[in-house]
Amino acid sequence: MDGVGEQTGEREGTAAGLNDTLARLVASLLVVRCSGHLADGQRRYPRWELDNATLQRLLSAGVGGVILLGGSAAELRLRTRQLQDWAATDLLLCADVEEGVGQRFEGASWLVPPLALGRLHGDDPGAAEELAERYGRCSGREARALGLNWVLGPVCDVNNNPANPVINVRAWGETPATAGALAAAFVRGAQAEGVLCCAKHFPGHGDTASDSHLELPLLPLSRKRLEAVELPPFRAAIAAGVSSVMTAHLLLPELDRERPATLSAAVLTGLLRHDLGFGGLVVTDALVMEAITAHHGAGEAAVLALEAGADLVLMPADADAAMAAIVAAVEQGRLKRERLEASAERRRLALASLQGNSLAPAGSVAEACPEPLGSLAAAGCRATDASEPLGPLSNGPISADQQLALELVQRSLLHQGGRVTLPAGSPGAAPAINLIRVDTALGCPFLQPTAPALTRATAAGFRTVVLDGWSPSPWRIRPAAVSDPGAQEPGVAAPVTANGTSIATDGPLDLPRLGEGPVLLQLFVRGNPFRGSAAGREPWEAVIRQLQASGRLAGLAVYGSPYLWESLQPLLEEGIPAAWSPGQMPLAQAELLTALGLGTPAGRGDGFTD
């Protein structure tokens, strides 16, 4: 009996070991979300960003990747080291830094959106492609310096639909040729600096009028159409050696009538693997997005994605549920273990490619940029030492990257009509209004108290009024029973406020409530996740007509969407100062306002601190 007991114990121990090995294999294929800040209380988005105790538990259980958002460059450097110390394996450490690392982490380079270069490409393809490669090099070396090894870009979507609410200026082009050429140049530049890149969102999110963060878009596109428009940029990125491809949460009935691309074997295995010949990592877009969660639970979505051909599961709605469901699917024979091992091998090879084709011991991946790579060395940067803990970012971006950021802003800026002037007399002698439109002023990264859009207008005598979803509305509301002479044609969405109330279009601004004096109109409008539109239902054309008819339009600044600029610019009377920049960051504001004649304030306009 003792012998039987020993044999039973040995079998149970072996089974437990196999189960633990499977659990770690499954965990290695998950990428979870956390804050770039160090402390739990600093999380910006606690709904999605895991607390530190949960992170430690999951990383020690073998979870293989983390996507980060928020914090400064210095914090991110500490955070990536901390995460790697908690981990049982070398981590994939990534971020959505599509517009430079400074887009997400203060202290690094914040570059104009890619579509700025797409617009330049039509006039000067050679210059645009050279700038795109420099853009990639800047992003790659700064990411690596801070401990990131995976840049979730380039966006390979062709933004051929101006009403696209979520891609918009994130795309590298509005035609397949432009998007492909510039995305490939970005990949070559960034991966030369020692990071992985990710082409997204396969097979193409550019021609959507709805946001997959909120709902599942349906694209009735034929295979012929996909081959002509959506797929060429992905083919170009793959030819350039891109390390990974991210899926799109889109329903394409011509390819799969039942499942979105992220969960479709026809799209991921048939189209991407077999037809396009991609052999690298396939990662899902975030599975917490409503396009997925509205139809599938966290566990089932993860299993379906792996069944379809994904290698990595990004941001499952519940990491524990996802892992448990995947383990169960393997044990039940629904998923083959060999299939997951193939994904783990692709992951290993991707990490190995960053270490001279030999995977270094756990912990070393997060030791970012111990020696300068590529153009960083050419720029004269030395190896990281104690006096330069952030390497090339120890005192902010290096000179070459500062010059790149400025050149991109200046080359993409459009200006007409001269300089903003106030009524006769000294600045501020008459009331004047700086009307700023943003999605939300709360925690807005480009509209801090020292932002030029605020300080320069204040120094010129303008009183700032911010229009967002939280502020008192300046709109005239159209009574339901009253005919509006400026109402939209049938079938066209009527202008509405943030809470859905109809706006009058025969002079939409409530000017008596807004106040007297000339109005400097500054519109920050672009596609943004979770917004559902790019300000497409706000009546800015009617606002321009109203302000000009009353002689009150002092100037127009549009930051972001070229489509809004193109709809407003033809309406401007001769001599009205106006400008557009695809960028919204302070550097873009400063250059645009300088062009409008609002230079650097002579005194301090940022107030006294507490």
Residue of 252, 334, 285 whose CA lies nearest to 152: 285
- The contacts of residue 299 (CB under 8 Å, 6+ apart) are 318, 321, 322, 324, 325, 326
Per the CB < 8 A criterion, the answer to whether 41 and 324 are in contact is no
Report how far residue 98's alpha carbon sits from residue 110's, in angstroms, rounded to the nearest whole number: 10
Report how far residue 581's alpha carbon sits from residue 409's, in angstroms, rounded to the nearest whole number: 7
Beta bridge partners of 377: none
Per the CB < 8 A criterion, the answer to whether 114 and 96 are in contact is no
Beta bridge partners of 545: none
Pairing of the two strands 92-95 and 65-69: parallel
> What's the full length of the chain, in residues?
610
Per the CB < 8 A criterion, the answer to whether 601 and 436 are in contact is no
Tell the residue number behind the tokens 């089974």, with chain if given: 15
The helix/strand/coil state of 78 is helix
CA distances from 461 to 172, 370, 428, 516, 600 (A): 38, 50, 4, 13, 13
SS (H, E, C) 478-497: CCCCCCCCCCCCCCCCCCEC
- Residues taking part in catalysis: 213, 285
Per the CB < 8 A criterion, the answer to whether 77 and 147 are in contact is yes
Phi, psi torsion values for 299, nearest 5 degrees: -70, -45
First to last CA, the chain: 78
Q: For residue 200, what is the DSSP state?
A: E
- Residue 57 token pair: 């538990």
Helices (H), 89-175: 115-121, 125-145
CA distances from 266 to 12, 232, 274, 309, 333 (A): 40, 18, 10, 9, 21
